[in-house]
Amino acid sequence: MMKWLLLSALALAAQHLGVLSYTVPQGSPGFYHGNSSAAVTFDAHSMFLDNKRLFVFSGEFHPWRAPSGKAIWRDVFEKMKAAGFNTASIYFHWGLSSAKEGGALDFNFFRSHTDLYEVAKEVGILIISRPGPYINAETTAGGFPGWLTNVPALARTNQTGFTNAWMPYIKAVAKFIEPFQYPNGPVIAVQSENEFFQSFPDNPGRAEYMQLIEDTYRANGITKIPITHNDAHPQGAYAGPGLGAVDLYCWDEYPNGFDCSHPTVWGQVDTQLNADHQKIDPDVMWSAAEFQGGSFDPWGGPGYDSCYQLLNEQFANVYYKNNYAAQVTLQSLYMTYGGTNWGNLAEPTVYTSYDYGAPIREDRTLSPKFNEIKLQSHFLHASTDFVLSTMTSADTSLSDKGQVFTTALSSPSGVGFYVVRQNDNAITTRTDFQLKMNTTAGVVTVPQFGGTNSLEGRESKIFVTNYPFGSNKLAYSTAEVMTWTTIDKTDIVVLYALAGHTIEASIPTTAQKVTVSGSTSVTAKVSNGSVVINGSPSGASVITFGSAKVVVFDKATALAWWNPRLAGTGKTPYDVAPDVPSVLVGGPYFVRSATQHGSVLALTGDLNATTTLDVIASSSVKSITWNGKTLSVSKSAFGSIRATLPFGVKAPTVPSLKDATWLCEDSLPEIKDGFDDSSWVTANKTSTPRPQQPTGGKFVLYADEYGFHYGNTIARGHFTGNATGVKLNVQGGFNFGYSVWLNNKFLGSNQGTNANAANGGLDQTNDTWTFNTADVRPGDNVVTVVVDTTGLNEDQGGDDFFKTPRGVRGYQLLGGPDFSVWKIQGNLGGENGPDNTRGPLNEGGLFFERQGAHLPGFPATNWASSKTDSTCSPTVGITTAGIKAYRTTFNLNFPANSDIPIALKFTRTPTSSYRTIIYINGWQFGRFSSKDGPQTLFPLPEGILNHQGENELLVTIWSLDAQGAKIADIGLVNTATIDSGKPPVGAVSSPGFAQLRR
Ligand code: GAL
């Protein structure tokens, strides 16, 4: 250890002497696996790419939660890139690629590694690949395939059955990653497992399994990039040394928790982050593989707007800056774009939307948090000294106010960073204060020239001292730095603070003259060889002197500015260092790209209204285009090139579903007399190796045991004789539901509750259903149990919890002989389902699904029509317990330059118990529960939805109540109207009825 510390210190010293190239010393942790050919290295401070230090500013994105594929992934990546994310962290989902044990692995369409890496490479986003095998992620079985529930080996150990299960998957994944390792592609790290624990004497085989995953990656070509882990807590699992130790240890943090019902309740920031890191692995940069970007929300929760509020831009401001204060240099925000739990992707604690209250919302619109993050990430990339800084003090002593907590950091070259915040997150009011800062002229108390510093409640700021921008330096600034760039040999630094706050900055200069253009709320004077800027920002002020320009914005203005790198100018597409030429662009809702061809600056981006555009660019720029159209430009008062960007999209006409023609059909023929289930699977197992044993009955009725892992399932038990009732233990996950019939007589329903319920949540119920003597027939009687499961459990504890059964867990026929036979039904074909495009999870086992009525082109010729039967509409519904399917078509014709996200909107009647499944063009895009909610708005993403043509929609009503149910109102709404420069998405090509139900 000492040896490498010494070498590391030498290397660091070389760096400070201006030696550009940096080699990670052999024997140091960054020199992992004795690998001299590593393209991605790191030390105690940061990661290096191409011998350049970088702050890895990463955001979590799940391509499989955005199945429209490449065009939409590109849009998300372009948005991330514009917000300053230089990296995306990606979970891949084993279960989506593996329908059956030993079967072919499928990495096509939204499961593709290659497509994802190619898009990332084109956009210039680095990738941290996280393929599992276990991912958690609030997805069914935590990403394990359904068939794994039947493998008689303890998962997440080195037991042979489990090893044989995952090995082909990880080998295949390694082959996909191998050609995309940096610098040939964007992948800079691969994570092994997720939130995993070490072996203990009574819990063996864990570290061995971890080691085996890593060895498999290395043996299959993953040699240029580090293998990482994401520890659930800063406890050092696999930080090394020892079996399973990874190259780069990371952990995750969700400091505000997941209770979106109390969206203003914050805990305190963790002041021990750096200390925890120092205890575990001081030799290695501190990496947060996941840091809270939002929160998931359970069935019955308050909804994602509340989650957004809990984890809003103020949270981002205070908590992320607290991470920087603790010297994090890899931070990945989970989630940055959440997406959708379409097609049975959810596990029982979450519903269809996985919006997550993330910076980019589910409909891909940008939140205020997105812009707050943009300011921070740009600052970090611009502040190349930041990653080398270390903490010099962290307390309230630098301020005259006891409630102002300051973490002071200093870089070896003397750059100072002062992260200030109120020391109690309960304070929601403003505090004015003075601060002592260490400058080259000694300790100064700022502001020196009038006014005070201010912090609103739940606000954090970073002041700087001795801060270089190009060949100039801020002696100090109490305005925050957004970014800086050098254009035409002028160093331009962008500063900001909230309107009403006083700022002060001092910049040494030999210039005699200083001019202020734009807003005069900020003044500047030359005094004792420095330009001193003081005032309260309002709009834009530009202070020009010598070879420097200081742009001062009020924060609301700064949030609408962008700093795109000029396309094609960096050494690599990923480089966002300040030496890569860039322009400053203000006003638009979103700036996607900037390219300079000769005297033309071509900008692309999106607008949500007519906007004034301001551009600060080289004087060589003579004209500007926006999404290909040449603008008429003028000069603004503060010297920018100004133009008007007209909003060019008309408010769309969204078809009404109320007036639509609906076709409808009963979807529960299973309760009709004479229904023939002879082709169904016979439940013939009488034992199971699972830890979760049956609670009664001769046969094991777990749907998974018979190959049905996703969506609704049906069990039919036959008996002859005078039974008086049936006891059923049905298990389907939190908020599951089921209904039961004796022959065609409805016996009743029961439903689960969510994990936050007073009883801790019901994921199963025990019920006794009594038969009317008159309903029991001579001859064959059938008990039909229809189960709506909410997905397979996760496996956080590594105790095979994901194997918890779904369906009838136990049964007993009362007052008569036993059932003679049970038949089980689920999605068509079980593990051999027909749809390789939408994948193995999309369909469930209700009648209409087995028939293929949700698929495009289904010939609903025998179905009733609302044209002749006015009851044939979901807003009229059904009058008994049961299930009915409704189908309609609608056309969209949105202009090519638009981004108009569409959602299906329901009115919820919580007093009525019904469940609805939504299919759009054959893709299951929603599960609605009137009793639980909260989701009533179901985004139907472009690509899955055809924005220029016909769409086929199917919704069901399953009434769990005897009196029936209706959807009070149903319609399509646009959740935004954006004039967009995004490339055309096009409808995803996916097979229809003719291909899948031949
Ligand atoms: C983390 C886990 C993620 C996800 C997250 C909560 O602990 O690693 O997979 O479950 O919690 O959204």
What is the pLDDT averaged over residues 862-883?
97
In a domain, 35, yes or no: no
What is the distance in A from the centroid of ligand 1 to the CA of 55?
Answer: 23
Q: Is the CB of 575 under 6 A from ligand 1?
A: no
- Do 826 and 935 fall into the same domain? no
Q: Catalytic: 290?
A: yes
Average pLDDT, stretch 781-797? 98
**Mutation pick for ligand 1 pocket among 92, 130, 136 (CB with most ligand atoms within 8 Å):** 136
In ligand 1, which atom is closest to the CA atom of 194?
A: 8
523: domain CATH number?
2.102.20.10
In a domain, 561, yes or no: yes
3-state secondary structure at position 582: strand
If asked whether residues 355 and 434 sit together in one domain, one would say no
In-domain check, residue 521:
yes
Integer angstrom CA distances of residue 81 from 35, 380, 564, 600, 717: 31, 14, 9, 23, 56
DSSP label at residue 123: H
Q: Is 300 left (phi over 0), alpha (psi -120 to 50) or beta?
A: left
| Sign of the Cα pseudo-torsion (191, 193, 198, 201, in order) | negative
> How many domains, the chain?
4
Residue where a domain terminates, one of 526, 560, 590: 590
- One-letter amino acid at 607 equals L
CATH assignment at residue 221: 3.20.20.80
Q: Residues 902, 942: one domain?
A: yes
Say if ligand 1 is within 6 A of residue 554 CB.
Answer: no
Examine the domain organization and report whether 741 and 802 are in the same domain. yes
347-359 burial code (b ≥16 CB/10 A, e <16): bbbbbbbbbbbbb
Please report whether residue 20 resides in a domain. no
| 755 lies in some domain | yes
Residue 87 DSSP one-character state = E
What CATH number is associated with residue 686?
2.60.120.260
Question: Which of 832, 855, 878 is a domain's end point?
Answer: 832
pLDDT at 11: 41
Question: What is the mean pLDDT of the segment spanning 395-422?
Answer: 98
Record the tokens describing residue 153, joined without a space.
């080996």
CB 645 within 8 A of CB 605: no
Return the pLDDT at 755: 80
Between the CA of 195 and the centroid of ligand 1 the distance, in Å, is 8
Is 657 a domain residue?
A: no
pLDDT score, position 984: 84
- Take atom 7 of ligand 1 and give the residue whose Cα is closest: 232
Which residue, chain included where needed, has tokens 């080289």? 618
Residue of 78, 214, 290, 504 with catalytic role: 290
Q: Among the atoms of ligand 1, which is closest to the Cα of residue 91?
A: 9
pLDDT, mean of residues 176-199: 97
663 C-alpha to center of ligand 1: Å?
A: 41
Residue 948 lies in a domain: yes
Q: Are residues 353 and 408 in the same domain?
A: no
**Cβ 194 under 6 angstroms from ligand 1:** yes
Query: Could you tell me if 515 and 442 lie in one domain?
Result: yes
DSSP symbol at 982? P
Tell me, using a 6 A CB cutoff, whether residue 952 lines ligand 1: no
* Distance separating alpha carbons of residues 226 and 793, to the nearest angstrom: 31
pLDDT grade, residue 7 (50/70/90)? very low
Q: Which of 195, 253, 794, 849 is catalytic?
A: 195
31 in any annotated domain: no
290 lines ligand 1 (CB under 6 A): yes
Q: Are residues 276 and 404 in the same domain?
A: no
Asked if 408 and 352 sit in the same domain, the reply is no
Which structural domain, as residue segments, surrounds residue 747? 669-832
Cβ proximity of 382 and 483 under 8 Å: yes
Statement: residue 13 has pLDDT above 60: no
Query: How would you classify the pairing of strands 47-49 and 40-42?
Result: antiparallel
Beta strands in 365-510 (DSSP E): 390-395, 404-410, 416-422, 431-433, 435-439, 442-446, 453-455, 460-469, 472-477, 480-487, 490-497, 503-508
Q: What number is the average pLDDT over the span 609-633?
A: 98
- 827 and 850 both lie in a single domain: no
Known active-site residue 843: no
Mutate to test the pocket of ligand 1, among 334, 337, 351, 802 (most ligand atoms within 8 A of CB): 334
Instruction: Calculate ∠ Cα 981-597-978, nearest 5°.
Output: 10
- The alpha carbon of 355 and the centre of ligand 1 are apart by a number of angstroms equal to 14
- Both 61 and 143 in one domain: the answer is yes
Verify that 973 and 871 share a domain, yes or no: yes
pLDDT tens-place string over residues 881-923: 999 999 999 999 999 999 999 999 999 988 899 999 999 999 9
Helix (H, G, I), strand (E, B) or coil at 347: coil
My answer on whether omega of the bond before 133 falls inside 30° of 0, hence cis, is yes
31, pLDDT greater than 70: no
What are the tens digits of pLDDT across the range 253-295? 999 999 999 999 999 999 999 999 999 999 899 999 999 999 9
Q: How many CA atoms lie within 13 A of 258 on its CB side?
A: 17
Of 571, 605, 555, the residue nearest 585 (C-alpha): 605
Of 543, 561, 590, the last residue of a domain is 590
Q: Take atom 11 of ligand 1 and give the residue whose Cα is closest.
A: 137
**Lookup result for tokens 């080195």:** 158
The answer on 860 and 953 residing in a single domain is yes
732 burial (CB, 10 Å; 0-12 / 13-18 / 19+) is: buried
Is pLDDT above 50 for 663?
Answer: yes
